[in-house]
Structure 1
Amino acid sequence: MWRDYGVSADDFYAVRPECQDVPKTRFKIKAGKTLSTRRWHAAFNEEGYLDIGKTLDRIQRGGIHPTIRGEVWEFLLGCYDPLSTFDERDQLRQHRRQKYAAWKEECRQMDSVVGSGRIITAPIITEDGEPIQDPIVLYEAEKRGDTSNPCFQNSEDDQNILMAEREGILGLECLDGVRKESKVTAPLDKKVIHWKLTLHQIGLDVVRTDRTLVFYENQKNLSKLWDILAVYAWIDKDIGYCQGMSDLCSPMVVLLEDEADAFWCFERLMRRLRGNFRCTEKSVGVENQLQSLASVTQVIDPKLHQHLEALGGGDYLFAFRMLMVLFRREFSFGDSLFLWEMMWALEYDPDNFTMYEEQDNSQEKNKAPRLKPKSSRQIGKFERENKRNKSKTPDSPLPISVFLVASVLKNKSSKLMHEARGLDDVVKILNDITGNLDAKKACSGAMKLHKKYLKKAKTP
């Protein structure tokens, strides 16, 4: 029972042996701190009501044991109401699986590659909706004798590398080399054209995402990630698909075996983050958080803020990646999961989940009566601070991710002040933190800065 305590999370998320330069995970499973399977199951009563307050403190202290991580995340992200029964959650799970299956079938009708186990990695239609003959596609690694290096990290050159690797692989849309799709007999709807135009970008991103993991050596897992993102791109008419979403979705595919369950976990995460991906002709959604980061830094470290402004970095675009993909590039895979669950536990508040259900009203009426939360223990520490200081934050409270970035800048403040003579230096200094951050210390630093910020913030 206790034999895996003290071991690294790397033992659960195996890295391909040829990837020697991948940062090691710092997260350790610790008895008395990490939320164990026994503790998790003990938090439910006989009907299935979850006393989530018993789990939040444990997650905030030591994270979640990898064997139960997926099911705990479903509660942290608001997939399920802790004040629901086992039966209610089973019914809801089945309802959601059916709904996902219907959406996936709708997508499959538009393009037969969806659900086929294959992945599109090049445009299949023109912007006018005309089909492109012989597009480049991803063949199974063992089928095409893939000798590409799986260990390269995402960079500005990734797309060029990938396209070069696939040079000469033409006309292979299906595993048998034949694209089974009927000819276009009528002009495609604009929404369908827009969706089809994103499919190859999803494919290019999927084959770059977490390539160091043994898990993604399996073509089935790659196609599962691609299918989820393709379906999400179709149902989210406003945002669709944007680069970075594959980094957010990948952990759900790793942790949750059922594809539909992984989809709904990702969908709930996107409810929190989709504003970051909202783009207009004049702005990108994440700019709001970058502006908030500038405001926080100006309050807690005005000299650093002035220095960054003098270097031309007052827009804080150098922190763009950290906020967009929640530090996925700054931490190892295992540590990024540890960081996320601590963040979600600290931010947890049932009031923030506006909708747990998609079921109809007749089913809603038959639900068992809800229990009321016993105390503020049902809310994470970060949210408790926000509620206590509501008068100082009249607008929507800032997410903990902003304070995490502020904490990183604060820790690097001296180096930035003395060594950064331009924005290139700022980027280099921040890039050096990759693999060298401690997730727990980062969360602790974010909490301290949050309190300091609220203390210094002026009451309207």
Structure 2
Amino acid sequence: MSRVLSQSEVELLYAKSKTYLHPTSAKKDNVPGYLTLSRGKNGTNLDILLSFTPETQLSVEEVKIYNAVDLEDLALDLEAISLSSKNNTNTNTNTNTNSKDRKISNTRIIPKPSVSLLSGYSFSVPLSYLYSIQVRKPSLGFWFGSIVINTKDGEKLPIVFFHDDESPSSKSRHKLSNKRFDPFDESGNMYWGGQEFIEVLEKFINIEKSTVTSSVYLINPDSHDLRNFAPLNIKDNSNNNNNNDSIKKIEPINVPDIGKLFASAKWKVLETVATISAKTKNQVMNIIEENAPLTIKQIMNKPEVQRIGDEFDSARIYLAKWAQQVKEEAEESQRKNMLHNEIYNKINRELGSSEILTNEEISQTSRRHPINKQEWDSFFDYSGRLILTVDEVKSRIFHGGLDNEIRKEAWLFLLGVYDWNTSKEEREAYKKSYETAYDELKLKWVNDEDKRSTEFWKDQKHRIEKDVNRTDRNLPIFKNPSRKHSGSNANANGNSRESSPETPDEDELDDEFDISNIRNPHLYNIREILLTYNEFNENLGYVQGMTDLISPLYVTFQDESLTFWAFVKFMTRMERNFVRDQSGMKIQMNTLNKLLQFMLPNLFKHLEKCESIDLFFFFRMLLVWFKRELEWDQVLQLWEILWTDYYSSQFHLFFALSVLSDNERIIIQNLRKFDEVLKYMNDLSLKLHIDALLIRSELLFLKFKRMIDIIDRENSLKSINSEVYGTSTTTTKDEIEISSEIRGLLSKEIVIQKEGPRPEGVGGG
């Protein structure tokens, strides 16, 4: 039996019997009751009521319900609570889920507890009203453990004591633990009712233990709360869960053996010269290299660069085409972007220190734990609409990232597939329209035999299939299924091959010899998406490296339509990396160069001596946002942080700067030549400490912004003085110039650069 709740009823989620209030020191005055969690109609997790109800206020029938819930097996009960939570608040609930799990049983329906804080020794407050809970374990002299509940307005509710020796559920738990000869929990503590209550509470809301007092749990804390409850220097790691991870001592990075060949260079990112045959490509390469400046030829003749160039064509082209210009522009802009010692000293005095990292700054920018399901759900109301500001959510994502469980939903917001101001119902409608639009777009090439027979189409298809076949094949999702002979004419999805008539059946060709024979269903879907993107963005076409951008999206969504539109949104900002003339990459490399001069002048001067100011080693990193330099989970974390545009839409350049800053001392003290710098930087692949670099990136940006503010103020004062004292205002030699590229790093607006129409006869890539 089940029914819909009325406004005066709630669903009893959790009940703990034989909890007491001790209004006086006399035992006879103790008030026995039930500590409960309950949820009303259309309630979110934050609307759940935490209540204490004395036994004397309950009817006989209500007592039966409370006792039944109290005695339910805790493990099973928590699972049911978790299901109930998802069914009430999850904006991605599958409509095919067993409907019986979503129904509210009559055995859990009770009258809504009184919301009065103090009425006959009862109280009831929503979880959104809580600030902290102090847990006091049972000990000698304090036979009963207790919890102290603090509200956001500073009010302290009556202390709740757990009389475990009377509680049937606690006694049952103790009995079971004794049978198992394991009276301790995972933390090595003896079981008691208060700890059980905290475990249940964590199913619904975000709870973080204070790093100052281990007995205090903060409820849905923001960064300000955490800073108030965290010391600058944490010596005891035992009571520290995730907040201290980012300020642990970082392992020193050893200088690699210069004689080693860097393994991370074996990757071709981008083919910028559109060709059909290798012969044509080599002819173009020879022409470029023959016309390269002498200094560039000398660099390209170095064995380290040749090794990269042999397998990394775009790097050779970039180096030949742009490196000399980058060097010349860097030298020309050096006076503009490198500040005089006088202004550096002034900046350091105002900022209080010449050091990049201070304990106080680390405390303010320390990394938080990723947003979990409970915390994410608390951002939305019962209709699925955001109840926080977008900036608040982005700040939280920027400083902690996301649990993998909620990425599928959160990424659609971050990438702009869904608007932040939509409801759950509206997003469902958007999803259906996206599916329809994708199907229509895909049919344009599926049904166009003439298009598929053109040389351009065949070339693009070959490029896509070649790269798809070697995309993240180490991941289980992209491993080929075991080969089983089948007489059916089904594709990798189990459907007919009507969507892709040019793809051979599995039995016709061996996939070791024909890259078109994609047997893995997920790789097959990625191929379909990229071919459809060719239809969507005909000017750009497919360019090598796009598979590295789409792979994390597909693994997260595992949905062809959603992945396509997420990729479209991602490519809006990333298209400039793949334009044919490479001007987008050149601009970013130049901007990073100017940022290096501005922020780390000593390192820039040293790299100049090493003939490395073109920052060639960052080409691959910037092209696909450090996809090859970080572990898989770190890539996902970095990308979602960059998508927030919290400080800047080009924050990836500050992350790159943080890599240089983190290795500045080693580079200056140990490296002297171009090839040594190149080897060292490439050898950092998969060895980067992302949390420490994210902290450093944020500190660098904050320092950068304050430097700009100080310089603007100095220029303003000089301008005022010139007017007051009649000095000529036409001269600017005393003013400190800030280039437009540098100032543009303060903007949160996404930089968009679209590819122009493809010239006739030019191939893809």
TM-score by length of 1: 0.63
Partner of 2:471: 209
Distance apart, 1:48 and its partner CA: 2.6
- 1:340 and 2:591 matched: no
Partner of 1:200: 462
Amino acid paired to 1:278 = V
Partner of 1:37: 373
SS at match of 1:285: helix
Partner of 2:611: 312
Amino acid paired to 2:437 = K
CA contact (8 A) 1:239 1:278 kept: yes
1:53-92 alignment runs, 5 A limit: 53-92=391-430
Partner of 1:290: 589
Task: Measure, in 1, the Cα distance between the counterparts of 2:544 and 2:372.
Answer: 34
- The structure whose residues are more often strand, as a share, is 2
Task: Measure, in 1, the Cα distance between the counterparts of 2:373 and 2:585.
Answer: 36
Distance apart, 1:238 and its partner CA: 2.5
SS at match of 1:208: coil
Partner of 1:453: 704
CA contact (8 A) 1:336 1:439 kept: no
Task: Measure, in 2, the Cα distance between the counterparts of 1:54 and 1:43.
Answer: 10
Q: Deviations over 1:321-378 (max 9, x none)?
A: 1111111111111111011112223x1xxxxxxxxxxxxxxxxxxxxxxxxxxxxxxx
SS at match of 1:68: helix
CA RMSD of aligned residues (A): 2.8
SS at match of 2:684: coil
1:121-140 alignment runs, 5 A limit: none
1:21-420 alignment runs, 5 A limit: 33-50=369-386, 51=388, 52-110=390-448, 193-218=455-480, 219-280=520-581, 283-345=582-644, 347=645, 380=646, 382-383=647-648, 399-420=650-671
Q: Deviations over 1:103-155 (max 9, x none)?
A: 111122246xxxxxxxxxxxxxxxxxxxxxxxxxxxxxxxxxxxxxxxxxxxx
Amino acid paired to 1:197 = D
- Which of 667, 675, 681 does residue 430 from structure 1 map onto? 681
Task: Measure, in 1, the Cα distance between the counterparts of 2:524 and 2:448.
Answer: 17
Residue identity over aligned pairs, in percent, reads: 30
Task: Measure, in 2, the Cα distance between the counterparts of 1:449 and 1:231.
Answer: 40
CA contact (8 A) 2:467 2:544 kept: yes
Task: Measure, in 1, the Cα distance between the counterparts of 2:463 and 2:418.
Answer: 32
CA contact (8 A) 1:342 1:443 kept: no
Change (3 A) 1:66 1:195: same
Change (3 A) 1:441 1:245: same
Q: Deviations over 1:259-304 (max 9, x none)?
A: 1001111111111111111122xx4421111111001000111122
CA contact (8 A) 1:77 1:269 kept: yes
Paired positions, count: 313
Change (3 A) 1:425 1:32: closer
CA contact (8 A) 1:43 1:54 kept: no
SS at match of 2:441: helix
SS at match of 1:64: coil
Change (3 A) 1:34 1:206: same
Residue ranges of structure 2 left out of the alignment (5+ in a row): 1-81, 83-198, 207-240, 243-262, 265-366, 481-519, 713-737, 739-765
SS at match of 1:45: coil
Q: Deviations over 1:74-94 (max 9, x none)?
A: 111111111122222222211
Amino acid paired to 1:270 = M
TM-score by length of 2: 0.39
CA contact (8 A) 2:577 2:584 kept: yes
Distance apart, 1:257 and its partner CA: 2.4
Q: Deviations over 1:421-440 (max 9, x none)?
A: 32221221112222221222
Amino acid paired to 1:293 = L
Partner of 2:136: none
CA contact (8 A) 1:195 1:233 kept: no
Q: Highest relative contact order (Cα 8 Å, sep 6+), 1 or 2?
A: 1
Task: Measure, in 2, the Cα distance between the counterparts of 1:434 and 1:74.
Answer: 29
Change (3 A) 1:224 1:304: same
Task: Measure, in 1, the Cα distance between the counterparts of 2:543 and 2:692.
Answer: 31
Amino acid paired to 2:543 = C
Instruction: Report the more deviating stretch, 440-449 or 244-253.
Output: 440-449
CA contact (8 A) 1:343 1:443 kept: no
Distance apart, 1:53 and its partner CA: 4.5
CA contact (8 A) 2:526 2:554 kept: yes
CA contact (8 A) 1:322 1:328 kept: yes
Task: Measure, in 1, the Cα distance between the counterparts of 2:452 and 2:368.
Answer: 57
Amino acid paired to 1:256 = F
Amino acid paired to 1:198 = Q
Residue ranges of structure 1 left out of the alignment (5+ in a row): 8-20, 23-30, 112-183, 348-379, 384-397
Distance apart, 1:54 and its partner CA: 4.9
Distance apart, 1:217 and its partner CA: 1.1
Task: Measure, in 2, the Cα distance between the counterparts of 1:308 and 1:239.
Answer: 35
Q: Deviations over 1:147-178 (max 9, x none)?
A: xxxxxxxxxxxxxxxxxxxxxxxxxxxxxxxx
CA contact (8 A) 1:296 1:453 kept: no
CA contact (8 A) 1:33 1:58 kept: no
Task: Measure, in 2, the Cα distance between the counterparts of 1:318 and 1:194.
Answer: 32
Distance apart, 1:189 and its partner CA: 9.7
Change (3 A) 1:419 1:214: same
